Structure 1
Amino acid sequence: MSGGRIGRLSPEERERSWQRLGEEHFDVVVIGGGVTGAGAALDAATRGLKVALVEARDLAAGTSSRSSKLFHGGLRYLEQFEFGLVREALRERELMLTRLAPHLVKPVSFLYPLTRRVWERPYTAAGLLMYDTMGGARSVPGQKHLTRSGALRLFPALRHDALVGGIRYFDAQADDARHTLFVARTAAHYGAAVRTSTQVIGFLREADRITGVRVRDVETGDERDVSCDVVVNCTGVWTDEMQRLAGARGRFRVRASKGVHIVVPRDRIAADSGLILRTEKSVLFVIPWRSHWIIGTTDTDWTFDLAHPAATQSDIDYILDHVNAVLATPLTHDDIEGVYAGLRPLLAGESDQSSKLSREHAVAHVAPGMVAIAGGKYTTYRVMAADAIDAAESDLRGRIAPSITDRVPLLGADGYHALVNQIDRLAEEYGLHPYRVRHLLDRYGSLVYDLLDLTAAQPDLLEPIPGAPDYLKVEVVYGVRDEGALHLDDLLTRRTRISIEYPHRGLECAEAVAALMGEVLGWDDARRAHEVQVYTERVTAERNSQTKPDDQAADEVRSAAAEPRPLISAPVS
């Protein structure tokens, strides 16, 4: 049985979407292809509205591919008395685990090491009890208290003097870029015109009202006007720039906070659980990630290039210093496989410390015909999206149906659990090891048939990618044919996570991947060479920036690398 090739973001669909943008009148145009924008497009489409989503770069190209990759309730927000945010986040986490995206979102355990005798265990237990009661222990186990020896059995890599006991609790994790992609593809399945490499360069007006946007295809340079009843600005850290372009007076300011993560091999830390550590500013996570650990994050203001935040040597040293304080065998720079930096779009508040700024979101009518949403956290994207479309109702013709996305599974969710029970049969049918089938199911869910069907005519697509054996060649072809990848960077950084999971950061497989992509997209030798060159420049610039002492020096190095989409305009200042 096949998934039916639904919600495709194919090259052919890309052309159809361009025609739709110029010919149709939309109820809603969403700007921004991060998780909030994709969620808003899905929310609007499933309410029966005609919706277009435009993104200047790639889906999840910004913050939504550079998070800690957790769906979590935000345990530390209890200390800040943000009880509503925690309760809301736990409800969303539960929906993802059980109904909306069980193929993408998985439980993950964390050890909280106790370092103070007498008072810390009851204090932390009380917080975790509240966490569990609010919904933290519905489909995952509740807190479990451990002695020091019990905690060390769970996490043998810890120094014996780094804790006096521990508490284990559960949260959830997901590949953020893939999850955002599936939200966007589900929106496309319900009728949304979803188009990447499509930059908003101006706004259409009648009198004082915004009536649409002017967009540029940054692959070809073509431009056209898109008419609509309301524009929803979901551009995250670019919110202020987009409001200035619209000539709208912002109701809130967005502040960019840089979060850096490092990736190290799984065998460098002996443990059967993740780890959460208190720091002087916030918390530090050690997160299991397939055959790796993700360790982060930092939390500092960023005032430079919003498209390419750069990690510095100071950022990396900060992470290493804090995790090494508790590890029996310290990590070194040589252990690092990958580094990535992302920007949180925080609502600017009274506190000067970004770690204390609210993770709540805000929605506002910034002009007649335009709504903006900012702030929030990845876990609550669905609530943010619903709030944005609710706010847009006053600009729409007639009443709209209430949000139903809490009952709309993402593509790939239906049938996933049954397929998990059929892994051995699928492995035998396609000549794959069962662990390969599990890998594919956890990345594509029940859409795995669409992917595997591509191998009928080309069995060699079941071979691993040279230099990146965790992934199969067919995933590259599928990433172009069904998932909208247009550039080598899209494939190595977001459709797969090769750029952070291998020490070569994708360079050793760039030629092979470009060749596979080129067969679908019709690239000649010169175009393939160009894609490899641009990607190599990016990796080189990132590596060099990670040796610099401060943000300014790192930004100068990183921003000098060529853009995969060179026709993108500079932001409005």
Structure 2
Amino acid sequence: MDALTAEEADPVADEHGAHQRGGGPGRRPSDAQAVVPPGALSPAERDRSWSRLGDEDFDVVVIGGGVTGAGVALDAATRGLRVALVEARDLASGTSSRSSKLFHGGLRYLEQLEFGLVREALRERELMLTRLAPHLVKPVSFLYPLSHRVWERPYTAAGLLLYDTMGGARSVPGQKHLTRAGALRLFPALRRDALIGGIRYYDAQSDDARHTMTLARTAAQYGAVVRTSTQVTGFVREADRVAGVHVRDVESGAETSVTANVVINCAGVWTDELQRLSGSRGRFRVEASKGVHIVVPRDRIVAESGLILRTEKSVLFVIPWRNHWIIGTTDTEWNLDLAHPAATRADIDYILEHVNSVLATPLTHDDIEGVYAGLRPLLAGESEDTSKLSREHAVARPAPGLIAIAGGKYTTYRVMAADAVDAAAADLPNRIPASITDKVPLLGADGYHALVNQADQLAARHGLHPYRVRHLLDRYGSLVHQVLAEAADDPELLKPVPGSPDYLQVEIVYAASHEGALHLEDVLTRRTRISIEYPHRGVESAEAAARLMGRVLGWDDETAREEVRVYVARVEAERDSQTEPDDQTADARRAAAPEARPRLEATA
């Protein structure tokens, strides 16, 4: 099969026509004339989207670029609505890049008899694995160690039988029962006295930040305006009705107003702040719960499967993550900086204590490559009579023209999005079709399986190792042709990123040219996961990455140096915070770092 051009690889055209990528230092003159495919969040498209925000009337404006906001934008756009999504920072810059990175039904909900919730989540897991995002969502196995004789095995087996059969879960193997010897062969790192046997079961995992970004790009492919670094500063009012939002471009300081029939607040842990800004009384409150994960090298735990452990509060996961393990999470109240939750020494010690209770060779602080902290938006209902509560999420209409949605879990984002758009129908002039996102593959899904079979040929054509191409396919799917096309006239881009050999330099360029990355931290923490996968946490790659981004974004030397300075200060502040004993001192340390988007208001 011949290599496809970028246009052929992404054949769906939107109603707004093709756009051109702006030139910049280091780019060939012909690049400025290249046609950018639909769904590309390019610098030129960013300029054009600003004009569209001020010039067009929209059916729906979505506030928030996390998984819920991106899901709402795709749901609305594929129903034929005119949609704009605005995000103050970066796509998935909050909770949606800091999860356990699992698409799962939630075993603990079975014990709580939440069968409907589990069935729904497992149906979503199946859709992701088979139809919507097979390039991004993959099966992952877990060992459930048994420690009690007689009753625990049949009790757990009964729950896992439901888990294996609910929601049409057919794409992963069913449970497998293991003796102690069998469980230790699967997970040799366990202490022999830590279990009497085990059960292996399957769930699914994904890079949450890449999935959310791809979701937003898919919405853009279907005509939605998707714009990051665009902060809501107020609401447009017509009498008692919300009729749009006032926004500021936090890169340039420019301001404009966006008119819409309905505004949907998908701001997650910032939901209450947006409610106050709108002047409407919220129908529920959102409280933040901090969850911390650590990342350690794969060779520190000898195992062929993930692990799930019961704790006194919930569960602890040991999750295989390429050449690493992700271990977490914690669950503690957080009332400080919502944008940059800080992990403390106590959080890390909690994780190490619990995982070391079953490991033959304990982990130490020196084994840790990365740490990340995220906030769960948990509901604290004020008036259940005026809000729709279901599936752990709530949808409310606090004022005509304003919808708020909060709570829920990453796995069921698509259901949440459909509920939000259904609720918005009351403020739309025409009847809208039903949600169809269960039939809409994300960008890169179509053709993915065929390309997996052709990975060796694709690797030979580009002079890459087949392992490298498979890694790219699991990050970009069939968009891999677009990525590799960026290196057509510069083979040096197919070399690894200095300091981060798991990633190619062309991926940094593509993040800026097609994926909407505007700052160095966008690339090192979300488009790639360099910030948590290497002990240097991206510092050794920062200068090279800034140089590559600058080729696309037109940075001069001073701008590139400032991007590196800000990123290094962020890493130093996070490291400092992780040595502090409590949230208050850790938050103060983290707050010392400069903001990558300096015009951003503190309440965003």
Note whether the superposition's TM-score is higher than 0.5. yes
Q: What are the superposed Cα offsets for residues 443-478 of structure 1, whole Å, 9 maximum, x if unpaired? A: 000000001111111111000000000000000000
Matching residue within 198, 206, 219 for 1:187? 219
Query: Is 1:528 aligned to 2:560, yes or no?
Result: yes
CA distance in 2, matches of 1:314, 1:403: 44
Checking the alignment, whether the CA contact within 8 Å between 1:347 and 1:358 is kept in structure 2 is no
Q: Where does residue 158 of structure 1 map in the other structure?
A: 190
Query: Is 1:168 aligned to 2:182, yes or no?
Result: no
Amino acid at match of 1:29: V
Checking the alignment, whether the CA contact within 8 Å between 2:271 and 2:404 is kept in structure 1 is yes
Q: What are the superposed Cα offsets for residues 159-215 of structure 1, whole Å, 9 maximum, x if unpaired? A: 000000000000000000000000000000000000000000000001000001000
Q: CA deviation at 1:515?
A: 0.6
Query: Is 1:302 aligned to 2:334, yes or no?
Result: yes
Q: CA deviation at 1:559?
A: 1.2
Amino acid at match of 1:483: E
Q: Where does residue 61 of structure 1 map in the other structure?
A: 93
| 1:335-346 matches, cutoff 5 A | 335-346=367-378
CA distance in 1, matches of 2:69, 2:531: 24
Checking the alignment, whether the CA contact within 8 Å between 1:347 and 1:359 is kept in structure 2 is no
SS at match of 1:173: strand
Amino acid at match of 1:289: W
Checking the alignment, whether the CA contact within 8 Å between 2:189 and 2:301 is kept in structure 1 is yes
| 1:3-402 matches, cutoff 5 A | 3-4=9-10, 5-135=37-167, 137-348=169-380, 360-402=392-434
Q: CA deviation at 1:82?
A: 1.2
SS at match of 1:564: coil
Q: CA deviation at 1:518?
A: 0.8
Q: Where does residue 353 of structure 1 map in the other structure?
A: none
CA distance in 2, matches of 1:416, 1:177: 19
SS at match of 1:253: strand
Q: Where does residue 465 of structure 1 map in the other structure?
A: 497
CA distance in 2, matches of 1:23, 1:32: 21
CA distance in 2, matches of 1:406, 1:135: 14
Checking the alignment, whether the CA contact within 8 Å between 2:283 and 2:381 is kept in structure 1 is no
SS at match of 2:309: strand
Identity of aligned residues (%): 79
Segment of structure 1 superposing worse, 25-34 or 118-127 = 118-127
Q: What are the superposed Cα offsets for residues 241-290 of structure 1, whole Å, 9 maximum, x if unpaired? A: 00000011110111100000000000000000000000000000000000
Query: Is 1:511 aligned to 2:508, yes or no?
Result: no
SS at match of 1:118: coil
Checking the alignment, whether the CA contact within 8 Å between 2:126 and 2:169 is kept in structure 1 is no
Matching residue within 504, 520, 530 for 1:498? 530
Q: CA deviation at 1:135?
A: 3.3
Q: CA deviation at 1:349?
A: 5.8
Checking the alignment, whether the CA contact within 8 Å between 2:40 and 2:515 is kept in structure 1 is yes
Amino acid at match of 1:484: G
Checking the alignment, whether the CA contact within 8 Å between 1:69 and 1:174 is kept in structure 2 is yes
CA distance in 2, matches of 1:262, 1:324: 13
Checking the alignment, whether the CA contact within 8 Å between 2:120 and 2:167 is kept in structure 1 is no
Matching residue within 465, 477, 498 for 2:509? 477
Amino acid at match of 1:208: D
Q: Where does residue 34 of structure 2 map in the other structure?
A: none
Checking the alignment, whether the CA contact within 8 Å between 2:284 and 2:381 is kept in structure 1 is no
| 1:422-437 matches, cutoff 5 A | 422-437=454-469
CA distance in 2, matches of 1:272, 1:8: 37
Q: CA deviation at 1:81?
A: 1.4
Q: CA deviation at 1:570?
A: 2.1
Unmatched runs of 5 consecutive residues or more in structure 2: 11-36, 383-388
TM-score normalised per structure 2: 0.93
Amino acid at match of 1:182: T
CA distance in 1, matches of 2:38, 2:188: 45
Query: Is 1:412 aligned to 2:444, yes or no?
Result: yes
Q: CA deviation at 1:132?
A: 1.3
Q: What are the superposed Cα offsets for residues 32-81 of structure 1, whole Å, 9 maximum, x if unpaired? A: 00000000000000000000000000000000000000000001111111
Checking the alignment, whether the CA contact within 8 Å between 2:123 and 2:169 is kept in structure 1 is no
Q: CA deviation at 1:137?
A: 4.1
Q: How many residues align?
A: 566
CA distance in 1, matches of 2:59, 2:234: 18
Checking the alignment, whether the CA contact within 8 Å between 1:461 and 1:472 is kept in structure 2 is yes
Checking the alignment, whether the CA contact within 8 Å between 1:136 and 1:142 is kept in structure 2 is no
CA distance in 1, matches of 2:437, 2:234: 31
Query: Is 1:543 aligned to 2:575, yes or no?
Result: yes
TM-score normalised per structure 1: 0.98
Q: CA deviation at 1:133?
A: 2.0
SS at match of 1:500: helix
Checking the alignment, whether the CA contact within 8 Å between 1:346 and 1:359 is kept in structure 2 is no
Checking the alignment, whether the CA contact within 8 Å between 1:465 and 1:472 is kept in structure 2 is yes
Amino acid at match of 2:64: G
Segment of structure 1 superposing worse, 519-528 or 398-407 = 519-528
Checking the alignment, whether the CA contact within 8 Å between 2:525 and 2:532 is kept in structure 1 is yes
Q: What are the superposed Cα offsets for residues 6-45 of structure 1, whole Å, 9 maximum, x if unpaired? A: 3100000000100000000000000000000000000000
Checking the alignment, whether the CA contact within 8 Å between 1:27 and 1:50 is kept in structure 2 is yes
Q: What are the superposed Cα offsets for residues 392-439 of structure 1, whole Å, 9 maximum, x if unpaired? A: 000001100100000000000000000000010001000000000000
Q: What are the superposed Cα offsets for residues 99-134 of structure 1, whole Å, 9 maximum, x if unpaired? A: 000000000000000011111101111111111121
CA distance in 2, matches of 1:419, 1:411: 14
Q: Where does residue 354 of structure 1 map in the other structure?
A: none
Q: Where does residue 24 of structure 2 map in the other structure?
A: none
Q: CA deviation at 1:519?
A: 1.2
CA distance in 2, matches of 1:268, 1:448: 32
CA spacing shift, 1:560–1:359, aligned 2, 3 Å: farther
Checking the alignment, whether the CA contact within 8 Å between 2:573 and 2:590 is kept in structure 1 is yes
Amino acid at match of 1:118: V
CA distance in 1, matches of 2:421, 2:169: 31
CA distance in 1, matches of 2:243, 2:407: 25
Runs of 4+ in 1 over 3 A off after TM superposition: none
SS at match of 2:257: strand
Amino acid at match of 1:411: L
Q: CA deviation at 1:358?
A: 9.4
Amino acid at match of 1:193: V
